[in-house]
C-alpha cells in the first residue's frame, strides 16, 4: 500500500473490570483518551480528528454514541467517525485512523474504542430473540464450540491444549496492571477442573465480560519525528471480510483471515512471519482460538498450531510470545478488545509494555476478528521506520 508513513505516538487504557461504577460512559472513554494524550506528550488541541469504535449500541443502550461523546473526547468542531465491524471493530477503528494519517488528511488522530457493557446487558443484546430467526440453542459459546470440535478433529490436537493457553494468558495477565482477571492462584488443575460450559470449552477457558476503553494517538511521520516519546511505526494494515453463512466456508481456518494475514505481511515486507515477527497480540476469546489463529496467521502449518502451544513457543519467554498482556481471555470489553491487541503490539515495539515486555521486540502483530469468524483486522508495527 502506498501512502505516507504513520506511527503510534501514545497509548492509554483503563483498568478493565466487570463494572465501572465510578465513571459514566463519557468518563470511561475520557480516561483512556487522557492517558493516550499524556503518553504522547500532546493535548486535545493537537488532535485533528477522532475515530471511535465499539460493538453493538445495544450493549450500552446508547444509539450512535459518538454523538453523545463528542464533547468528552474534545471532538467539537472536528471530524468524528464511528466504526462498527462487530468484534474486530477495535482493530478496524485503529486502521481507519491510520488511513486518515497515511492519506495526508490529518496530522494527528485520536482513536478510541470502548465497551461499558455493564450499563446494558451484553448477553441479552447478543441473543435478542428476533422473530422468524432460528431459535438460539446454545448462546455464543455454543456457536464456537462446534467449530473448535471441528479443529480438534482435523488436527488431532491433544485435548489439554486449551488449558495450556488459558494458563499462559492468565499468568501473563498478572504482569499487566490493566488486565481484568488477576488470578494469582491460577493453575493447570484449576482450569482442567473448571465446569464444562460448551464441551470442549470450560469456564476457565472463556473470556470475562469487562467495562473498558483503549485509546491511541496516531500521527504522521513529521509528528512522530517531532515526538520525544517512543513511537511505533505502522508497517502494514489490512482488513478482510467474508459471509456469515456461506456454503463451503471454512470456519476453522477462515479464508478471510488467511488473506488478511498475507496482505498485512506483504505490505510490511514480511516473508517469514514466524521468524520476522517478534511477538503478537491476537484475539483469543476462547482458549482454542490460539492454536487455530496460529495456523490461520501462517505461524504454523495447518493442523500444527497446537504444537507451538504444547512446546511453550507462545509463552512470554518463548520464541513467539502470544498475548503477553493476558489477551482477551483476561480482559474483554468487547468493542475495545481489538484495539487493545493493536495497542499492546505497539507498546511492545515502543518498549513501554512494562512487566509484560518482550525483550528487544522490534516487530509485532496486532490481530482482531469478529462476527462468525468472518471479519478480520490486522496491523504490523515496528520500532524502526519503514
Partner 1 sequence: MSDPVTGIITPIRLDYTYTPGTSPSAFLRGMKDGKILGRRCPSCGKVYVPPRGGCPMCGVEFAEEVQVSDSGTLVTFAVVNVNFANRVIDLPYVSGEVLFDGADTTSMVLVQGIAADEVRMGMRVTAHWLPREEWDFTFANIDYVEPTGEPDADYASYKEHV
Partner 2 sequence: MRDVAVVSFAQSATRRDQTRNEVEILLPVLREAMEPTGLTTQDMGFTCSGSSDYLAGQAFAFVSALDAVGPWPPIQESHVEMDGAWALYEAWVRLQHGDIDTALVYAFGKSSPGDVGRVLSMQLDPYVVAPLWPDAVSLAALQARSWLEAGHSEKDLARVVARSRRNALGNPHAQLSGDVDEEALLDEPLYADPLRKHDCPPISDGAAVVVLAAGDRARELCDRPAWIRGIDHRIDVQALGSRDLTTSASTRLAGQRAGVRDIDLAELHAPFSHQELIVAESLGLEESRTTINPSGGALASNPVMVAGLVRIGEAARRISAGEGDRAVAHATSGPALQQNLVCVLEGT
Binding site for partner 1 (CB under 8 A): 21-22, 61, 127, 129-132, 134-139, 141-143, 145-147, 149-150, 153-154, 195-199, 201, 243-248, 250-252
Residue 89 has what DSSP assignment? H
Min. distance of Cβ 369 from partner 2 in angstroms?
Answer: 12
How many angstroms separate the CA atoms of 174 and 312, rounded?
Answer: 18
Q: Assess 195 for contact with partner 2 (CB under 8 A).
A: no
Q: Which is nearer to partner 1, 21 or 384 (CB)?
A: 21
Min. distance of Cβ 348 from partner 1 in angstroms?
Answer: 35
Taking CB under 8 A as the criterion, the residue among 213, 256, 340, 345 binding partner 2 is 256
> Footprint of partner 2 on residues 63-82 (CB under 8 A)?
63-64, 66-68, 70-71, 75-82
Q: Which does 358 bind (CB under 5 to 8 A by kind): partner 2, partner 1, none?
A: none
Q: Which does 84 bind (CB under 5 to 8 A by kind): partner 1, partner 2, none?
A: partner 2
For 271, the grid coordinates are 516473508
Min. distance of Cβ 296 from partner 2 in angstroms?
Answer: 12
How many angstroms separate the CA atoms of 166 and 204, rounded?
Answer: 7
Q: Which does 135 bind (CB under 5 to 8 A by kind): partner 2, partner 1, none?
A: partner 1
Q: Assess 126 for contact with partner 2 (CB under 8 A).
A: yes
Q: Assess 146 for contact with partner 2 (CB under 8 A).
A: no
Q: Which does 126 bind (CB under 5 to 8 A by kind): partner 2, partner 1, none?
A: partner 2
Question: Which DSSP string do the residues of 3-27 spell out, in sequence order?
Answer: S--EEEEEEEEPPPBS---SS-HHH
Which one of the spans 54-62, 166-174, 274-282, 305-313 is the region binding partner 2 (CB under 8 A)?
Answer: 54-62
Which one of the spans 151-159, 289-297, 345-353, 367-375 is the region binding partner 2 (CB under 8 A)?
Answer: 367-375
Min. distance of Cβ 251 from partner 2 in angstroms?
Answer: 13
> Footprint of partner 2 on residues 90-119 (CB under 8 A)?
92, 95-96, 99-100, 102-105, 119
Dihedral over alpha carbons 90, 335, 113, 237 (to 10 degrees): 0
Q: What are phi and psi of 365, to 5 degrees?
A: -110, 135
How many angstroms separate the CA atoms of 280 and 341, rounded?
Answer: 8
**Which run of H or of E encompasses 80?**
strand 80-83
How many angstroms separate the CA atoms of 256 and 374, rounded?
Answer: 7
Q: Which is nearer to partner 2, 297 or 353 (CB)?
A: 297
Q: Assess 266 for contact with partner 2 (CB under 8 A).
A: no
**355 and 309 Cβ atoms separated by less than 8 Å:** no
Q: Which is nearer to partner 2, 75 or 157 (CB)?
A: 75
How many angstroms separate the CA atoms of 53 and 90, rounded?
Answer: 6
Q: Assess 250 for contact with partner 2 (CB under 8 A).
A: no
> Footprint of partner 2 on residues 10-29 (CB under 8 A)?
24-25
Question: Which DSSP string do the residues of 210-274 spell out, in sequence order?
Answer: -EEEEEEEEEEHHHHHH-SS--EEEEEEEEEE--SS-TT--SSS-HHHHHHHHHHHHHHT-S-HH
Q: Assess 278 for contact with partner 2 (CB under 8 A).
A: no
How many angstroms separate the CA atoms of 209 and 251, rounded?
Answer: 24
Taking CB under 8 A as the criterion, the residue among 186, 197, 217, 239 binding partner 2 is 239
For 280, the grid coordinates are 503478537
Q: Assess 242 for contact with partner 2 (CB under 8 A).
A: yes
DSSP 3-state of 303: coil
Taking CB under 8 A as the criterion, the residue among 259, 307, 313, 357 binding partner 2 is 259
CA distances from 378 to 95, 205, 225, 366 (A): 8, 24, 24, 6
How many angstroms separate the CA atoms of 184 and 52, rounded?
Answer: 34
Q: Assess 371 for contact with partner 2 (CB under 8 A).
A: yes
Residue 111 has what DSSP assignment? E
**What is the contact surface with partner 2 in residues (CB under 8 A)?**
1-3, 24-25, 56-58, 60-64, 66-68, 70-71, 75-86, 92, 95-96, 99-100, 102-105, 119, 125-126, 128, 130, 238-244, 246, 255-256, 259-260, 371, 374-375
Amino acid at each position: 500500500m502506498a501512502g505516507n508513513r504513520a506511527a503510534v505516538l501514545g497509548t492509554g487504557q483503563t483498568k478493565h473490570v466487570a463494572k465501572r461504577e465510578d465513571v459514566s460512559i463519557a468518563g470511561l472513554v475520557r480516561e483512556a483518551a487522557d492517558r493516550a494524550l499524556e503518553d504522547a506528550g500532546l493535548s486535545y488541541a493537537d488532535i485533528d480528528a477522532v475515530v471511535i469504535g465499539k460493538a453493538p449500541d445495544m450493549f450500552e443502550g446508547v444509539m450512535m454514541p459518538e454523538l453523545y461523546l463528542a464533547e468528552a473526547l474534545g471532538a467539537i468542531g472536528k471530524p468524528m467517525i464511528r466504526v462498527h465491524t462487530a468484534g474486530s471493530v477495535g482493530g478496524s477503528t485503529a486502521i481507519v485512523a491510520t488511513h486518515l494519517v497515511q492519506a495526508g488528511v490529518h496530522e494527528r488522530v485520536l482513536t478510541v474504542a470502548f465497551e461499558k457493557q455493564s450499563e446494558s446487558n451484553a448477553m441479552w443484546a447478543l441473543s435478542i430473540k428476533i422473530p422468524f430467526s432460528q431459535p438460539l440453542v446454545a448462546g455464543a459459546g455454543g456457536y464456537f464450540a462446534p467449530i473448535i470440535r471441528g479443529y480438534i478433529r482435523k488436527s488431532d490436537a491433544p485435548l489439554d491444549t486449551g488449558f495450556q493457553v488459558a494458563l499462559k494468558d492468565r499468568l501473563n495477565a498478572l504482569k499487566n496492571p490493566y488486565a481484568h482477571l488477576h488470578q494469582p492462584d491460577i493453575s493447570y488443575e484449576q482450569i482442567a477442573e473448571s465446569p464444562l460450559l460448551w464441551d470442549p470449552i470450560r469456564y476457565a477457558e472463556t473470556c470475562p465480560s469487562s467495562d473498558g476503553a483503549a485509546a491511541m494517538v496516531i500521527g504522521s511521520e513529521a509528528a512522530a519525528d517531532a515526538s520525544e516519546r517512543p513511537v511505533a511505526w505502522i508497517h502494514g494494515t489490512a482488513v478482510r471480510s467474508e459471509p456469515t453463512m456461506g456454503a463451503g466456508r471454512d470456519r476453522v481456518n477462515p479464508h478471510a483471515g488467511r488473506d488478511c494475514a498475507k496482505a498485512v505481511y506483504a505490505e510490511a515486507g514480511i516473508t517469514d512471519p514466524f521468524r520476522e515477527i517478534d511477538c503478537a497480540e491476537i484475539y483469543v476469546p476462547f482458549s482454542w482460538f490460539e492454536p487455530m489463529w496460529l495456523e490461520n496467521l501462517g505461524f504454523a502449518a495447518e493442523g500444527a498450531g497446537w504444537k507451538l502451544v504444547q512446546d511453550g513457543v507462545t509463552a512470554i519467554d518463548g520464541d513467539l510470545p502470544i498475548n503477553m498482556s493476558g489477551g482477551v481471555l483476561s480482559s474483554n470489553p468487547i468493542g475495545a478488545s481489538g484495539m487493545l491487541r493493536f495497542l499492546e503490539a505497539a507498546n511492545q515495539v515502543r518498549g513501554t509494555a512494562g512487566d509484560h515486555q518482550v525483550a528487544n521486540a522490534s516487530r509485532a502483530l496486532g490481530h482482531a476478528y469478529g462476527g462468525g469468524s468472518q471479519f478480520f483486522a490486522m496491523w504490523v508495527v515496528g520500532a524502526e521506520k519503514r
